[in-house]
């Protein structure tokens, strides 16, 4: 075969590229065997933390305040606004919160950037136009009136579980945010305004505070904040719920508040105080400050935010999107290194063995072996055998983290001559089998509980697909790969169940492929991510590379490859749900594109060689790659940064390419 010069030179240069990347990755391993990096991107988290600190009268001293302000300054957009995340268009919600946070941290209202921010949000309706979560937070500071928020009655927790709108049927992140919110709403929890807060009341609105008729703004959301506009039912529903709030039974309210506080305790207990995510971690802090001012729980939550969620990037401070991403990043790094080890490209095998062993031990320790306490009472599912996104302490596993954790554990065991404990593999298999959704796909944290129709009640304005734990192509693909990996360790009974699960999972993947051959990525930006997983999942389910649907997936990738050999996508693809156009190639998306081609059996095609050459051209002298873009996303609108993706995905792609490019098709 006649190969262009670039392809030939790519073939000869790949061994040192793999070795350099593997050493760079090994060097960045943490002492506990994990990989982790600052997990930032959403811009509503740091202001929410500052608000919690103000509620608890624990605003930070000057140097810390300055570093928090620096982060907010870095993320302000040209037009003076803040988006809900990095790279997102400006929103009143985050602009008002970022403004309030900086004022609380001591900046004067007349400072130039704050003036620009104020001009921006006043043009868009001021705080009255903020998406609902912004209003709740402002209300706790008495910067917004509880009469003007979308009602969140705590009594919903007393409904029969069968009732479709019982919060137990919501996606767990939504449920765990609305849990503390319903307590704050039910109590109308608000600080007594001091002089500073009174001043702020005048800055956030284009009308005097006393002249605002709050009830007429309950369902108001500025256009900038309405990625998912409120459904029409919210208008009459919010009126009815507000009447209930006013005239409903006090005794029932007290019972409901007690129940909600009990559920909050369960969550604290089951997560060792870490909470499922950053939003409920902040809201629990605020709840406990009102429920038991200055108590032990407040102190613990403040400490958790400080020690686990805070991250320092150079001279700025941010609040992370999860307390860490350790299991997820370690699983991928471990798998990339295991593949690299198979290429024979690495010289210092002692160093590599040490790294792999420590990674294996870390992954090993993060398998959750127990179940939540008060399982049914706390509306939780079994967790034994599963892996979480961060670490075992937090106790909320997901299907794909389990699959990737299990896959990494097995690969790392194989690479370090350790025999995995079969009983534990089987526990993981059982968890994965339990998690399959009725549509054949796999969700994130829990099997789907509510019907898709619940999405009509999405009360957030800014996020999409938050009401139900839907199936996702990438979660499904990870699980199919994980199950195949674990198959040799399964019991005969499990094998039969795995076979059936795979048939249904395959059907789900075939069904979710779009007419253009791609899969939409729900948790990575965007089609390169989804398509890489879609193809890999179908291959794991047994389809051959020349299957027409796999071909179409690979052709989609080839059709959208940039002339320089890479791929580039932005958050707009996620928001618009279509390939809006290519943007400059990025490291991570190029690695995903190349991996998609390799899984699709096209390792030997010219496009794959050009992608590999792009990755090698852009590798830095120390073996690492530049962190050139934010490539994670959630709920279709909010970008989130996985800095380590730019290290382990290219390594895995190059190593696999090296292993497969010699194969005949």
Does 640 interact with ligand LAN (rule: CB under 6 A)?
yes
Q: CB of residue 583 vs ligand LAN: minimum separation in angstroms?
A: 22
> Least distance from C-beta 85 to ligand LAN, angstroms?
10
Is residue 279 at the binding interface for ligand LAN, with CB under 6 A as the rule? Answer: yes
**Do residues 305 and 620 make contact, with C-beta atoms less than 8 angstroms apart?**
no
Q: Is 635 in the site for ligand LAN (CB under 6 A)?
A: yes
**Of residues 383-402, those binding ligand LAN (CB under 6 A):** 389, 398, 400-401
Which C-beta is closer to ligand LAN: that of 273 or that of 632? 632
How many residues bind ligand LAN (CB under 6 A)? The answer is: 20
Under the criterion CB under 6 A, does residue 88 sit at the interface with ligand LAN?
Answer: no
Interface of this chain with ligand LAN, residues 135 to 174, rule: CB under 6 A: 173
The two structure tokens encoding residue 122? 């006043």
Among residue numbers 353 through 382, which ones bind ligand LAN (CB under 6 A)?
none
Closer to ligand LAN at the Cβ: 466 or 613?
466
Nearer to ligand LAN by C-beta: 47 or 277? 277
Residue 502 Cβ, how far from ligand LAN at the closest point, in Å? Answer: 19
Kindly name the residue from 268, 318, 391, 400 that is annotated as catalytic: 400
H or E element in which residue 557 lies: helix 548-559
| DSSP per position, 425-467 | HHHHHHHHHHH--TTSSB-SSS---S-GGGGGG---SS-SS-S
Largest CA distance in the chain: 82
Q: Could you tell me if 623 and 23 are in contact, meaning their C-beta atoms sit under 8 angstroms apart?
A: yes
Q: Do the strands 310-313 and 638-640 form a parallel or antiparallel pair, or are they unpaired?
A: unpaired
Binding mask 405-444 for ligand LAN (x = CB under 6 A): ---------------------------------------x
Among 475, 532, 594, 611, binds ligand LAN (CB under 6 A): 475
CB 443 to ligand LAN: min, Å:
9
- Quote the CA–CA distance of 364 and 330 in Å, as a whole number: 11
> Which two structure tokens, joined as six digits, stand for 323?
């307390």
400 classed as catalytic: yes
The Cβ-side half-sphere exposure at 61, using a 13 Å CA radius, reads 1
Using the rule CB under 6 A, is 333 a contact of ligand LAN? no
Using CB under 6 A as the binding rule, whether residue 277 contacts ligand LAN is answered as: yes
- Catalogue the long-range contacts made by 72-79 (C-beta closer than 8 Å, 24 or more residues apart): 72/46, 72/47, 72/98, 72/101, 72/102, 73/113, 74/316, 75/43, 76/113, 76/116, 76/117, 79/116, 79/120
| Closest separation in Å from C-beta 132 to ligand LAN | 12
Name which of residues 572 to 591 contact ligand LAN (CB under 6 A): none
Which of 39, 46, 42, 136 is closest to 98 using CA atoms?
46
Burial profile 439-473: b = 16 or more Cβ within 10 angstroms, e = fewer: bbbbbbbbebbbeeebbebbbbbbbbbbbbbbbbb
Rg of the chain's alpha carbons, rounded to an integer?
25
Q: Give which of 224, 228, 322, 230 is closest to 577, Cα–Cα.
A: 228
Is position 537 an interface residue for ligand LAN (rule: CB under 6 A)? no
Q: Count the neighbouring beta carbons within 10 Å of the beta carbon of residue 210.
A: 6
Q: Which of 175/604 has CB closer to ligand LAN?
A: 175
Number of Cβ atoms within 10 Å of the Cβ of 585: 23
- Of the candidates 442, 567, 634, 645, which one interacts with ligand LAN according to CB under 6 A? 634
Which residue's CB atom is positioned nearest to ligand LAN?
Answer: 634
461 vs 568, beta carbon nearer ligand LAN: 461
Nearer to ligand LAN, 277 or 385 (CB): 277
Q: Report the distance separating Cα 74 and Cα 500, nearest Å.
A: 51
In the complex, minimum distance from the CB of residue 646 to ligand LAN, in angstroms, rounded to a whole number: 16
Of 145, 318, 474, 641, the one binding ligand LAN by CB under 6 A = 474
Residues 6+ apart with CB under 8 A from 589: 525, 528, 529, 566, 567, 568, 569, 629, 631
Q: CA triplet 636, 642, 645: central angle to 5 degrees? A: 115
Decide if residue 177 touches ligand LAN (CB under 6 A). yes
Is the CB of 277 or the CB of 601 nearer to ligand LAN?
277
In whole angstroms, the minimum distance from the beta carbon of 276 to ligand LAN comes to 8
Please select the residue that binds ligand LAN; options are 519, 523, 527, 625, rule is CB under 6 A: 523
DSSP-assigned states of every residue in 356-377? HHHHHHHHHHTS--S--TTTTT
Residues 235/219, Cβ–Cβ less than 8 Å: yes
Nearer to ligand LAN by Cβ, of 287 and 603: the residue is: 287
101 Cβ partners below 8 Å, 6+ apart?
A: 46, 47, 50, 51, 68, 72
Please identify which residue in 35, 93, 185, 322 interacts with ligand LAN, judged by CB under 6 A: 322
Q: Is 187 left (phi over 0), alpha (psi -120 to 50) or beta?
A: alpha
Q: Is 533 in the site for ligand LAN (CB under 6 A)?
A: no
Select 178 or 234, whichever has its Cβ closest to ligand LAN.
Answer: 178
Q: How far is the CB of 663 from ligand LAN (least distance, A)?
A: 29
Provide the 8-state DSSP code for 28: T
Residue closer to ligand LAN (CB basis): 125 or 277 = 277
Site for ligand LAN in 108-127 (CB under 6 A): none
Binding piece for ligand LAN, criterion CB under 6 A, among 102-110, 225-233, 356-364, 632-640: 632-640
Candidates 233-241, 320-328, 540-548, 577-585 — which segment interacts with ligand LAN by CB under 6 A? Answer: 320-328
Q: Is 528 in the site for ligand LAN (CB under 6 A)?
A: no
CB nearer ligand LAN, residue 205 or residue 431: 431
Is residue 357 classed exposed, middle or buried when 0-12, 13-18 and 19+ CB atoms within 10 A define those classes?
middle
Query: Measured between alpha carbons, how far apart are the two ends of the chain, in Å?
Result: 14
Q: Is 644 in the site for ligand LAN (CB under 6 A)?
A: no
Judged by CB under 6 A, which stretch of 160-168, 203-211, 410-418, 633-641 contacts ligand LAN? 633-641
Q: Which residues participate in catalysis according to the annotation?
A: 400
Binding residues for ligand LAN, per CB under 6 A? 173, 177, 277, 279, 321-322, 328, 389, 398, 400-401, 444, 463, 466, 474-475, 523, 634-635, 640
């Amino acid at each position: 075969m006649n190969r262009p010069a670039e392809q030939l030179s790519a073939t000869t240069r790949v061994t040192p590229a793999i070795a350099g990347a593997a050493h760079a990755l090994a060097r960045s391993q943490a002492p506990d065997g994990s990989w982790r990096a600052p997990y930032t991107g959403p811009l509503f988290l740091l202001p929410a933390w500052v608000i919690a600190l103000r509620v608890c009268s624990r605003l930070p001293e000057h140097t810390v305040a300055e570093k928090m302000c620096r982060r907010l300054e870095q993320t302000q957009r040209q037009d003076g606004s803040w988006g809900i995340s990095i790279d997102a268009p400006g929103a009143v919600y985050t602009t008002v919160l970022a403004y309030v946070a900086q004022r609380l941290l001591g900046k004067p209202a007349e400072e130039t950037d704050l003036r620009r921010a104020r001009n921006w949000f006043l043009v868009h309706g001021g705080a009255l136009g903020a998406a609902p979560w912004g209003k709740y937070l402002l209300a706790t500071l008495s910067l917004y009136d509880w009469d003007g928020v979308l009602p969140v009655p705590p009594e919903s927790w007393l409904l029969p579980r069968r009732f479709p709108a019982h919060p137990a049927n919501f996606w767990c992140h939504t449920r765990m945010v609305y849990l503390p919110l319903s307590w704050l709403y039910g109590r109308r929890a608000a600080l007594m305004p001091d002089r500073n807060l009174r001043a702020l009341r005048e800055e956030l609105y284009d009308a005097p505070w006393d002249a605002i008729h709050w009830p007429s703004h309950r369902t108001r959301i500025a256009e900038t904040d309405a990625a998912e506009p409120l459904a029409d039912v919210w208008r009459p529903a919010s009126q009815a719920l507000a009447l209930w709030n006013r005239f409903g039974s006090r005794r029932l309210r007290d019972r409901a508040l007690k129940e909600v506080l009990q559920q909050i305790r369960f969550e604290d207990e089951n997560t060792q105080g870490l909470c499922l995510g950053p939003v409920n971690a902040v809201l629990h802090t605020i709840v406990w400050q009102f429920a038991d001012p200055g108590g032990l729980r407040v102190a613990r939550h403040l400490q958790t935010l400080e020690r686990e969620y805070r991250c320092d990037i150079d001279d700025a401070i941010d609040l992370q999107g999860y307390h860490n991403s350790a299991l997820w990043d370690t699983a991928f790094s471990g798998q990339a290194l295991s593949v690299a080890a198979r290429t024979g490209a690495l010289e210092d095998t002692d160093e590599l063995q040490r790294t792999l062993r420590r990674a294996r031990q870390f992954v090993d320790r993060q398998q959750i072996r127990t179940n939540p306490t008060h399982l049914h009472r706390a509306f939780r599912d079994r967790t034994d055998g599963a892996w979480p996104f961060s670490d075992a302490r937090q106790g909320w596993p997901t299907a794909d983290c389990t699959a990737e954790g299990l896959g990494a554990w097995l690969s790392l065991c194989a690479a370090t001559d350790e025999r995995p404990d079969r009983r534990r593999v089987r526990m993981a298999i059982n968890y994965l089998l339990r998690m399959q959704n009725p549509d054949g796909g796999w969700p994130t944290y829990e099997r789907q509980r509510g019907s898709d129709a619940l999405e009509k009640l999405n009360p957030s304005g800014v996020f999409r697909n938050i009401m139900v734990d839907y199936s996702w192509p990438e979660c499904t693909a990870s699980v199919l790969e994980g199950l195949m990996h674990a198959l040799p360790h399964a019991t005969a009974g499990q094998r039969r169940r795995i076979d059936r699960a795979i048939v249904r999972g395959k059907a789900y993947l075939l069904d979710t492929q779009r007419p253009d051959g791609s899969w939409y990525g729900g948790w990575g930006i965007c089609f390169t991510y989804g398509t890489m997983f879609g193809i890999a999942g179908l291959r794991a389910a047994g389809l051959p590379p020349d299957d027409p649907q796999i071909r179409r997936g690979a052709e989609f990738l080839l059709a959208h490859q940039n002339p320089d050999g890479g791929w580039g996508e932005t958050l707009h693809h996620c928001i618009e749900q279509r390939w809006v156009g290519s943007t400059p190639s990025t490291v991570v998306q190029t690695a995903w594109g190349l991996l998609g081609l390799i899984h699709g059996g096209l390792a030997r095609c010219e496009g794959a060689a050009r992608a590999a050459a792009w990755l090698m051209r852009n590798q830095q002298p120390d073996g690492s790659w530049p962190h050139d873009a934010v490539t994670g996303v959630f709920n279709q609108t909010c970008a989130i940064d996985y800095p380590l993706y730019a290290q382990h995905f290219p390594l895995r792609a190059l190593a696999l390419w090296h292993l497969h490019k010699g194969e005949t098709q």
